[in-house]
Amino acid sequence: MSNLDILQQRLAAADCAALLIPSSDEYLSEYTQPADRRLPWITGFSGSIASVIVARDRAAIFVDGRYTEQAARQVDTARFDVCGFGNPARLEWLRRTLQPGDTLMVDTRLHSVAELQQLMEGAEAAGFKIAATPSNLVDAIWTTSRPTPSRSSVFDYDVQYAGLAREEKFTLLRQQLIERGRDLFIVADPEDVAWLLNIRSTDSIDTLDRGDFSNPISSFRVPAPLSRVLLPAEGEVCWFVDRDRLAPELLDALEGVVLICEPGRFDATLASLAAGKTVAANLRRTNYHHAKIIREAGAIEDDASVVRYRGIKHPNEITAAREGHRIDGAAVVRFLAWLPTATAKGIVTELEAAQRLTELRAENERYLGPSMSNLSASGPNSALPHYVPTKETNRVLNDHPIFWMDSGGQYLGCSTDNTVCFAIGTPESRHVLAHTLAVKGWMALSRARFPEGIASTQLDSFARQYLWQHGLDYGHGTGHGVGNFLNIHEVPHIRREIDHYSVAPILSGQILSNEPGYYLKGDFGVRIESHILAVPSAHEGFLEFETLSMLPIDPQLIDANLLDPHEARWLSDYHNGLVAGYEGMLDAAEASWLAGIARRFEDMANRAGA
Amino acid sequence: MSNLDILQQRLAAADCAALLIPSSDEYLSEYTQPADRRLPWITGFSGSIASVIVARDRAAIFVDGRYTEQAARQVDTARFDVCGFGNPARLEWLRRTLQPGDTLMVDTRLHSVAELQQLMEGAEAAGFKIAATPSNLVDAIWTTSRPTPSRSSVFDYDVQYAGLAREEKFTLLRQQLIERGRDLFIVADPEDVAWLLNIRSTDSIDTLDRGDFSNPISSFRVPAPLSRVLLPAEGEVCWFVDRDRLAPELLDALEGVVLICEPGRFDATLASLAAGKTVAANLRRTNYHHAKIIREAGAIEDDASVVRYRGIKHPNEITAAREGHRIDGAAVVRFLAWLPTATAKGIVTELEAAQRLTELRAENERYLGPSMSNLSASGPNSALPHYVPTKETNRVLNDHPIFWMDSGGQYLGCSTDNTVCFAIGTPESRHVLAHTLAVKGWMALSRARFPEGIASTQLDSFARQYLWQHGLDYGHGTGHGVGNFLNIHEVPHIRREIDHYSVAPILSGQILSNEPGYYLKGDFGVRIESHILAVPSAHEGFLEFETLSMLPIDPQLIDANLLDPHEARWLSDYHNGLVAGYEGMLDAAEASWLAGIARRFEDMANRAGA
């Protein structure tokens, strides 16, 4: 019997018509641990985000456009309908499949308040009953062969890298509670907890996306241990985490500052501290179960200030980021200098290239592991923006002029995530055109100056404008906030959707990615990605960006005729800055390769009369 | 006794604590007729938007930042508090002034649903009672000396200019009602009515802004007569308008197509048609009183589709707009050609300049009057973005190098609204810098290409980017939709606020203004404004703009060193296009003046090597 069969039997036994299964865990994490992957365990689907409803005789998987094909391939379509993502599609399927009066079970721990409330209201309006509990039938049957979570040591993250001391962060949040007449913060997002407590771990994870859990280059670090905090305006800060994971030095440091509590005591403590009080919670990051506990005991108010504070980097964090990007960039430059020689000598595959850069990064003692899966993409694979190579898809770089790699490392004080795009052999003119237009947009965003506090969405067009002139575009965001030895994805995002939750003001101290690209399905794709830091400009009230990533661009992929003289000069200055910046970090051959690149750009600038 | 005294006595007699008086009329018009200016009649305040609460012993006026100074000057501050605009300020003042249990009167005809609902909820939460009726005490006491409304003839607007026939528009809306399961459209916005019925009038209005009601250059046309329509999915279209205003030809044309109804029958008809039905209404444009009638009879659903259809111009409207801009532009060119000669010969004032252009426009038989107050601004006056000259403020152009004029005309098939900025004498370098940066932004927006359906707010940064580079900006939107012989302000707006009601997708066929500027308080300001038409580009799915306005730029106010070669070439081509476009419409001196301007830009382009 399949997992699905067993589940459908249990549904009947529980007198329920259907069960909702999301891809998220009870921390609403971006990347879930294998033990929390209930949806793949039932369906076989390995995409990063989906939702499933299992009824007694039928099931459905709800995915967005990018996963329609993959879902149809991975699930048993004799038993699953493949439907669009979102509440309207789910409600429509429920109406088609269930009878009025039927009961839908939901696990209130696995959904945010906003998401579940909307679905429950719609289902009730359609005449269904909801059985909402903090548990689910999958856990009841998935008892054996459930993977053990990664549980690395949790350590004290020094203020040299973290910036503010944890006590100062507590004071900040407590002052805010008092100013807003609130009593308690629930810090439900493990990344907010890591920031607040100045702690990190080196848990590993692999990308669910590819279904290849054993692939070494697809695994990476998630430095925020799964835990929660309750921070009252008065009284001790309670951290709900397994004490035995904490390094002894951390335990010493927290003595008298933070109370370590059993994770199993979280619900009861929350109910007790929230009684008659007003609780500040980020409703996008707090699960429905906890929000319900709070509402039954007191009042809940939406408050995303922890994630906002987290986005504005402290001077220590900025110093560490500059240094981290230099260390990381040196490895990338060494990789890029190796690439033409290696491909001239013999064949190099996507996986070998990924492996090579991973090894070069690892040579630095401050490297703590990858920050993301290595997206090493050649030829038609490069047309997939989120491609991660596997043994089955692994291409030989020598077979196609286009190669890009999107990868990054975790360092004390810095998470990197960058994309370099270099030609293997001679690129075609359409490759050069698309790349040049993306680079022009990348420069326009890097060089933008703008009023502090502008909505992040309003910088998006700068990066797309030259592609747009040629009727080209890319289907992903232009950029996203970046963590400090944390998740590489933070708010705000620079993207086109003006009503997206991640749209927020751009403020001094934020680190963002800048990653325009272009992708032609089945053919080729290009991307270039740097991290940029928002800093005050010479003009009061206006910010500009400092480019943190120190990464060369392939002059073979630039059409100098499409550059304005000031762009050609900027590119030349930028590359001369790389030569100077990496002094002493490269061997003679590597340094000479980089100098050669810089000379090419200087020639372009001189010819442009800039 | 002042009007305020009488009102306060009546409040006591009515056993009410306070009365809310908005600046809007019961059609929620952008420009109100003098007879509807209740707020100025009580306060003396002449700004375009404000709200007043009169309590028995005290009153308050609520205005946004740009009107704070003016309000303090115009109202009796011994009796009025001058407060910020919006509900929080109004509620705060109410809490400070009234006692719990006190009654606040509101006239439900003079507010949109959204606005009044929020205020009433807040006031009730604060313990006040609300007496909400479709009437108010001002009307009870303002019986004599109330101005007669402008009531020009309402005529049939030929499809040559209107585009779709009215019957086709009815079919469009009826199909949509049926598709969405609705029964009735309430078309509450007179501009929507004018579009839907293909009717116009030539009512006049003056800008309230300046308090100078007799100023000839501040008066302009509002071609949408105040009226409403009920359009049922089945049954006759009912137009509530004074039959005696309608031209005989229009009455003939409407025979059997539209039922003319007494405006006084509107409420009863609405209640009867809405009974048990679902009514589509633009909630931003439907007053609270009417929404209440609908809710008591049936259901109301927000629907802004009429204003959206209105924004997408029909090919006939586009043809007429091109021609209208050519006619209007020729008058502006003739004015600009006259200006240097006139200021060389003697002094010219702001009012004289405005008068001159008005006369030149009037020489064309298709001119139907101004579309807006004439904003003729010299020197420090040009630092006020909405400045309209009066006898008291009238400056001599010869006294300052900077002069701009924002003005427009109404034509069959076209409303124009443009700004030209020309130097009188020799401008200073800071004038040239600000103007050049604004022109570069204006060009960047005019030349943008972008995916159809992009949110209007995302084009805003293109126009500001060069000013931003120098730490400069402007405090108004970059652009707005434009009516067809209607209000020059329509949705969508191109502006920075991403949550503004006017943010909407940019679609092919929309006509928008493009008007970046810069203003230095007490010193000088610049602005340049054109209308642009969104048209399909050579690349599928991508739009670009056609510049409809044919207006020269002052080469004296351009620093060629700040232009990229392609910008210099574009400006030269654009001006050569003007020379060709106006062939036969200018006299020899005017044509020679324009050719001289074009030559200056051609020299710039040649020197830039473009």
- Positive or negative torsion for Cα B372, B378, B384, B390: negative
Number of H helices, E strands in chain B: 19, 30
Give every CB contact of residue B104 below 8 A, 6+ residues apart in sequence. Answer: B16, B17, B18, B19, B20, B53, B94, B98, B123, B128, B129, B130, B131
Measured at the CA of B196, the angle between CA B193 and CA B197, to 5 degrees, comes to 85
Q: CA-to-CA distance for A213 and A207, rounded, in angstroms?
A: 7
So what's the pLDDT on residue B33?
A: 87
Does the pLDDT at position B588 exceed 70? yes
On chain B, the residues whose CB falls within 8 A of the CB of A500 are: none
Asked if A483 contacts A517 with a C-beta cutoff of 8 angstroms, the reply is no
The SS3 call for residue A588 is helix
Measured at the CA of A345, the angle between CA A341 and CA A350, to 5 degrees, comes to 75
Measured at the CA of A454, the angle between CA A449 and CA A456, to 5 degrees, comes to 95
Residue A5 banded pLDDT, cuts 50, 70, 90: very high
Does the pLDDT at position B208 exceed 60? no
Nearest chain B alpha carbon to A567: B564
Domain boundaries, chain B: 3-141, 155-309, 315-562
Angle in degrees, 0-180, between the axes of helices B460-469 and A460-469, rounded to the nearest 10 = 110
User: Which amino acid is present at B526?
Assistant: V
Reported as type and span, the H/E element at residue A292 is helix A288-297
Measured at the CA of B61, the angle between CA B59 and CA B63, to 5 degrees, comes to 170
**Mean pLDDT taken over chain B:** 94
User: Which amino acid is present at A351?
Assistant: L
Q: How many CA atoms lie within 13 A of A428 on its CB side?
A: 9
User: Which amino acid is present at B387?
Assistant: Y
So what's the pLDDT on residue A215?
A: 56
Comparing CB atoms, the residue among A454, A471, A496 nearest residue B537 is A471
Give the closest-approach CA distance of A571 to chain B in angstroms: 17
Residue B211 banded pLDDT, cuts 50, 70, 90: very low
Does the pLDDT at position A214 exceed 80? no
Share of chain B above pLDDT 70, in %: 98
Give the closest-approach CA distance of B199 to chain A in angstroms: 36
Q: Could you tell me whether strands B511-514 and B517-520 are parallel, antiparallel, or unpaired per DSSP bridges? A: unpaired
So what's the pLDDT on residue B213?
A: 42
Query: How many of the other CB atoms lie within 10 Å of CB of B59?
Result: 24
Partners of residue B248 on adjacent β-strands: none
A542-547, strands of its sheet edge to edge = A449-451, A542-547, A530-536, A511-514, A479-481, A490-494
So what's the pLDDT on residue A210?
A: 44
Q: How many CA atoms lie within 13 A of B269 on its CB side?
A: 22
Does the pLDDT at position A143 exceed 60? yes
On chain A, the residues whose CB falls within 8 A of the CB of B448 are: 465, 468
DSSP class per residue in B287-316:
BHHHHHHHHHHSEEEE--HHHHHHHS--HH
On chain A, the residues whose CB falls within 8 A of the CB of B464 are: 450
Does the pLDDT at position A527 exceed 90? yes
pLDDT tens column, A559-597: 999 999 999 999 999 999 999 999 999 999 999 999 999
Q: With CB atoms and an 8 Å threshold, state whether B468 touches A449.
A: yes
On chain B, the residues whose CB falls within 8 A of the CB of A461 are: 450, 454, 458-459, 461-462
Q: With CB atoms and an 8 Å threshold, state whether B458 touches A455.
A: no
Q: Could you tell me whether strands A155-156 and A199-200 are parallel, antiparallel, or unpaired per DSSP bridges? A: antiparallel
Asked if B154 contacts B199 with a C-beta cutoff of 8 angstroms, the reply is yes
pLDDT tens column, B555-580: 999 999 999 999 999 999 999 999 99
Q: CA-to-CA distance for A90 and A500, rounded, in angstroms?
A: 21
**Measuring CA to CA, which residue among B300, B288, B239, B294 is closest to residue B271?**
B294
Does the pLDDT at position B606 exceed 60? yes
**Measuring CA to CA, which residue among A44, A318, A364 is closest to residue A163?**
A318
The SS3 call for residue B421 is strand
Does the pLDDT at position A209 exceed 60? no
Q: With CB atoms and an 8 Å threshold, state whether B540 touches A471.
A: yes
* 3 state SS for A227-246: CEEEEECCCCEEEECCHHHE
Q: CA-to-CA distance for A16 and A131, rounded, in angstroms?
A: 8
b or e along B200-210 (b: 16 or more beta carbons within 10 Å of the residue's beta carbon)? bbbbebbbbbb
DSSP class per residue in B498-548:
TT-TT--B--TT-EEEE--EEEETTTEEEE-BEEEEEEE-SSTTEEEEEE-
User: Which amino acid is present at B597?
Assistant: I
How deeply is A99 buried, as exposed, middle or buried, from its count of CB atoms within 10 A (0-12, 13-18, 19+)? exposed
Q: CA-to-CA distance for A570 and B79, rounded, in angstroms?
A: 61
On chain A, the residues whose CB falls within 8 A of the CB of B456 are: none
Residue A259 tokens, joined: 């109370």
- Distances B439 to B292, B466, B476, B496, B556 between C-alpha atoms, Å: 48, 9, 16, 19, 13
For the structural domain made of A155-310, what CATH number should be given? 3.40.350.10
So what's the pLDDT on residue B216?
A: 58
Share of chain A above pLDDT 70, in %: 98
Q: CA-to-CA distance for B317 and B313, rounded, in angstroms?
A: 6
CATH superfamily of A3-141: Creatinase/prolidase N-terminal domain (3.40.350.10)
Architecture of the domain delimited by B155-309 = 3-Layer(aba) Sandwich (3.40)
On chain B, the residues whose CB falls within 8 A of the CB of A539 are: 470-471
Instruction: Please report where in the chains the tokens 């309000």 appear, as a residue.
Output: B71
Nearest chain A alpha carbon to B471: A539
Does the pLDDT at position B417 exceed 90? yes
Per this entry, what is the length of chain A?
A: 610
pLDDT tens column, B494-537: 999 998 889 999 999 999 999 999 999 999 999 999 999 999 99
- Distances A305 to A267, A283, B65 between C-alpha atoms, Å: 23, 11, 28
**Measuring CA to CA, which residue among A479, A359, A470 is closest to residue A418?**
A479
Residue B210 banded pLDDT, cuts 50, 70, 90: very low
Q: With CB atoms and an 8 Å threshold, state whether A462 touches B461.
A: yes
How deeply is A315 buried, as exposed, middle or buried, from its count of CB atoms within 10 A (0-12, 13-18, 19+)? exposed
Q: Which of B478, B498, B500, B502 to mutate to test the interface with A (most CBs of A within 10 A)?
A: B498
Does the pLDDT at position A127 exceed 70? yes
CATH class, domain B315-562, is alpha beta
User: Which amino acid is present at B529?
Assistant: E
Per this entry, what is the length of chain B?
A: 610
Measured CB to CB, residues of chain A less than 8 Å from chain B are 448-451, 454-455, 457-462, 464-465, 468-471, 473, 496, 498, 503, 537-542, 564-566, 609
Write the ipTM. Answer: 0.91
User: Which amino acid is present at A462?
Assistant: F
Nearest chain A alpha carbon to B463: A462
Q: CA-to-CA distance for A287 and A114, rounded, in angstroms?
A: 9
Does the pLDDT at position B41 exceed 90? yes
**Mean pLDDT taken over chain A:** 94
So what's the pLDDT on residue A213?
A: 42
Write phi, then psi, for B325 (nearest 5 degrees).
Answer: -70, -30
Mean pLDDT, rounded, for A423-452 = 98
Q: Which 8-state DSSP code applies to residue B157?
A: -
DSSP class per residue in A507-559:
-TT-EEEE--EEEETTTEEEE-BEEEEEEE-SSTTEEEEEE-------GGG--
Asked if B574 contacts B549 with a C-beta cutoff of 8 angstroms, the reply is no
Q: CA-to-CA distance for A509 and B596, rounded, in angstroms?
A: 50
pLDDT tens column, A352-400: 999 999 999 999 999 999 999 999 999 999 999 989 898 889 999 999 9
A237-240, strands of its sheet edge to edge = A258-261, A237-240, A228-232, A184-187, A278-281, A299-302
- Distances B392 to A129, A413, B211, B212, B388 between C-alpha atoms, Å: 72, 63, 12, 10, 11
So what's the pLDDT on residue B212?
A: 45
Give the closest-approach CA distance of B498 to chain A in angstroms: 7
Q: CA-to-CA distance for B156 and A171, rounded, in angstroms?
A: 70
Asked if A471 contacts B539 with a C-beta cutoff of 8 angstroms, the reply is yes
Give the closest-approach CA distance of B471 to chain A in angstroms: 5
Decide whether B155-309 matches B315-562 in CATH topology. Answer: no
On chain B, the residues whose CB falls within 8 A of the CB of A498 are: 455, 457-458, 498, 503
Q: CA-to-CA distance for A193 and A240, rounded, in angstroms?
A: 10
Measured at the CA of A49, the angle between CA A46 and CA A54, to 5 degrees, comes to 80
Q: CA-to-CA distance for A429 and B38, rounded, in angstroms?
A: 68
pLDDT tens column, B66-88: 788 889 999 999 999 999 998 99
Mean pLDDT, rounded, for B356-379 = 95
Q: Which 8-state DSSP code applies to residue B21?
A: E
Query: How many of the other CB atoms lie within 10 Å of CB of B312?
Result: 15
Residue A50 Rama label (left phi>0; alpha psi -120 to 50; beta): beta
Measured CB to CB, residues of chain B less than 8 Å from chain A are 448-451, 454-455, 457-462, 464-465, 468-471, 473, 496, 498, 503, 537-542, 564-566, 609
Q: CA-to-CA distance for A454 and A456, rounded, in angstroms?
A: 6
